[in-house]
Structure 1
Amino acid sequence: MMLMDNSNDSKKCLDDRTYCRCVVFGWGIDCMSRTNSYSTVVELLKGIRRVQNLSIQYCPIMPTLPIFPNMKHLELKGYWPSRLILRFLECCPELKTLCIDGIAGWFCKEMVPACMLTNLTTIKFSKCEGYKGDMVFLEYVLGNAKALKTLTVTWKNILCIGEELWSQLVLIIPRASSHSEIYFRS
């Protein structure tokens, strides 16, 4: 199912059913009408709160999120700031898989969402560029995800020290899960 916030078809999808998969793209946010855009985003997210798999493009207007009680798989497309990533993780207590394109800085390390302590088994980080925020994010997830089994890092235009040295640095990060494996891709 594909939803767009400004199409009439998306309104038909907004009910209490449990969806297997939902893709949200094409926010089409108009900066001149932030109030209308905000309420549309709120309505859309409340309408899909029972979804099990969600792929969502970064949206600069992100309201208070509803709880997603059935969410097992979350894909965050684009570059997301840490505060929004953490908000999604807080609202997805049953999350098992997190796929994230990129991090727009990582600064919030003090809070650990419940899903990281109990359910999150797979993390895919697909655009790791070697910025400091990328390493801090990897330290955070490896240090807190107690159920983590697999972390896959895909390098993209790695900076300065190169993929091999970055990979070595990631491999020595202390891990909360003794059963986690880390894979690297170019």
Structure 2
Amino acid sequence: MLLLSKTFTFFSLRTAVAACALGSMMSAVQAEATYIQIIAFGEFGPPPGDSQAPPENVVELFSKVETNKLVRWTNCITAKLGTRMGLLLKHTGANGTHLPVEVELHHPPYTSLDGRTRTVESWSMNLSHQPLYTGWHFDESHELVPGHYIMKIVRQGQIVYSEHFIVVLSRSDCTKHS
């Protein structure tokens, strides 16, 4: 399968200061640039209809997790329990390093089980050289809200990437949004 990728460059304040001190902004910045590569986006998880026996222990559970398997490269996601949408991404900076980022998911309002209205979910992750999945799993019925969703990758307070998704109630509605 051919996967297209999107690559983005980020510069830290430390990199900019070091570059100015060296008197050659471009060469120092280029030498220390960190890239985030978006490998895939869309619907993730085991292929539809691929049912597996439930794991017997935690170790087996983690060995069977298949959230990083791209099921469908799309921005149109059908809202149903068990559906996952998200990104597969990695960084291409210095080998063996981790790149901390925040992930934000902006979505239509829903009322959580504790009675609060929510429009944003966020979590931290450390990117590595290995592709990692980040995304949203529709696992509660109150989360099944159609509309526009935006997943943002934030690095040092800056939005460095965003992907727009449309969540629909029926797969046939995806043709109306393509």
The TM-score normalised by the length of structure 1 is: 0.24
Select the structure that is richer in strand. 2
Using the size of structure 2 for normalisation, the TM-score is 0.24
Task: Choose 1 or 2 for highest CA Rg.
Answer: 2
